[in-house]
């Protein structure tokens, strides 16, 4: 007779209850040495990464961030996409997508994606994918977050992605509060950071409200092994696939560890580039305003000049008529040509 059981990590194991106690003890020790991600065929692992679907979903629900989005965002809310190879919006219902994959023998990385039907920044475009991530320890009785990462204008000249210890965000056992900038959807761990000239000076979280959690996080699997119909991961229409790798490189962790314990620090990009672009954008905005003012002034000048010329013409005509009558009396004046 065989009894099956599953531990808290979603790893399946079994023992033969008919075996003598000593054999059972040896089997228990051996099972305790089994690699962390080993599973029996009975556990469903849709993305073939060694973690059961149930275990991945439990992590996604446990650490889901509290997302703050703009109440006036041009794209409304994050969208749910139809199954298939091409990203097509099925509904704007606030769906959050997730990904879980092994990072080491006792750690996993968890990603949360906000997928939008459009980006409404300086250069608007269709589709937008942003994400926040956590490095989770699963060596203890309960999973605990160690570090968090928030992507903001990733891999652009305006990159200001940030990282922090989970303790700094009070987010070891649950997700942190995350702020999404209006229109651009860059993600920040504080509203102050979003509003402080970040994103080359264009980001704002002025009217953000909490996104209602009306649907469960949808697991999209792995970059090369999509799950739940998310074959659109690899579509060239967006850069979602490029964001599905690890965010917690040794360099990133080193930057966070070097910061004060309660700090949220920038872990990507260069401030000189961001500052230059912010200044350039301000100059461009001033030029646009100046051009508009010049155009308005020319329009006004043209209107005033036309009115003045018409008035002068009318006055000249009246003066000539008076002069004619003074010289020739009531004799008709010559017709105008």
Rounded to the nearest angstrom, the gap between the alpha carbon of residue 16 and the centroid of all alpha carbons in its chain is 50
* 296: CB partners within 8 A, 6+ apart: none
Length in residues, the chain? 337
What one-character-per-residue DSSP string does 293-313 give? HHHHHHHHHHHHHHHHHHHHH
pLDDT at 101: 98
Q: How many CB atoms lie within 10 A of CB 64?
A: 18
pLDDT at 317: 53
CA distances (Å), 90 to each of 83, 112, 180, 235, in order?
9, 19, 22, 16
Q: Tell me which DSSP letter residue 143 carries.
A: -
Q: Tell me which DSSP letter residue 73 carries.
A: -
What one-character-per-residue DSSP string does 146-209 give? EEEEE-SSTTSTT---EEEEGGGGT-SSSPPEEEE-TTT--EES-HHHHHTTTTTTT---TTEE
Q: How many CB atoms lie within 10 A of CB 95?
A: 20
pLDDT at 42: 63
132/145 Cα distance (integer angstroms): 13
Instruction: List strand residue ranges (DSSP E) for the chain, in order.
Output: 2-6, 12-16, 66-70, 80-81, 89-91, 97-104, 107-119, 125-137, 144-150, 162-165, 177-180, 187-188, 208-210, 218-219, 264-266
Q: Which H or E run contains 77?
A: none
pLDDT at 278: 44
126/128 Cα distance (integer angstroms): 7
Spell out the domain ranges in the chain.
2-32, 53-268, 270-337
User: Residue 208's beta-bridge partner residues?
Assistant: 70
Residues of the chain under the 50 pLDDT cut: 1-6, 8-9, 11-38, 40, 272-295, 297-299, 301-303, 305-306, 309, 312-313, 316, 320, 323-324, 326-328, 336-337
**Token reading at 276:** 């230059």
331/124 Cα distance (integer angstroms): 72
Q: Which H or E run contains 288?
A: helix 271-328
**Taking a C-beta distance cutoff of 8 angstroms, is the pair 162, 50 a contact?**
no
pLDDT at 77: 97
Question: What is the pTM assigned to this prediction?
Answer: 0.73
CA distances (Å), 322 to each of 309, 312, 315, 318, 325, in order?
20, 15, 11, 6, 5
């Amino acid at each position: 007779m065989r009894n099956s059981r599953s531990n808290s990590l979603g790893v399946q194991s079994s023992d033969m209850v008919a075996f003598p106690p000593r054999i059972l003890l040896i089997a228990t020790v051996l099972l305790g040495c089994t690699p962390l991600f080993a599973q029996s065929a009975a556990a469903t692992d849709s993305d073939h990464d060694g973690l059961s679907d149930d275990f991945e979903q439990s992590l996604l629900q446990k650490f889901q961030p509290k997302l703050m989005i703009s109440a006036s965002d041009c794209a409304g809310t994050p969208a749910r996409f139809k199954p298939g190879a091409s990203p097509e919006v099925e509904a704007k219902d606030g769906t959050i997508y997730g990904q879980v994959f092994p990072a080491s023998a006792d750690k996993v990385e968890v990603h949360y994606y906000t997928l939008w039907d459009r980006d409404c920044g300086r250069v608007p475009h269709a589709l937008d994918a942003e994400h926040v991530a956590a490095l989770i320890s699963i060596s203890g009785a309960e999973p605990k977050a160690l570090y968090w990462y928030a992507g903001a204008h990733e891999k652009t000249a305006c990159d200001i992605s940030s990282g922090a210890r989970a303790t700094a965000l009070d987010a070891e056992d649950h997700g942190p509060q995350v702020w999404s900038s209006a229109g651009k959807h860059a993600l920040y761990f504080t509203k102050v950071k979003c509003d402080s000239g970040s994103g080359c000076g264009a980001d704002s979280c002025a009217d953000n409200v909490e996104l209602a959690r009306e649907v469960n996080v949808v697991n999209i699997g792995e970059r090369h092994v999509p799950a739940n119909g998310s074959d659109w991961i690899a579509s060239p229409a967006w850069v979602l696939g490029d964001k599905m790798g690890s965010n917690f490189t040794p360099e990133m962790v080193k930057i966070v560890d070097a910061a004060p314990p309660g700090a949220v620090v920038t872990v990507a990009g260069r401030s000189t580039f961001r500052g230059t672009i912010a200044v350039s954008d301000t100059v461009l905005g001033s030029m646009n305003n100046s051009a508009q003012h010049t155009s308005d002034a020319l329009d006004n000048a043209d209107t005033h000049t036309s009115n003045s010329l018409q008035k002068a013409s009318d006055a000249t005509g009246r003066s000539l008529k008076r002069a004619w009558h003074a010289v020739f009396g009531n004799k008709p004046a010559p017709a105008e040509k």
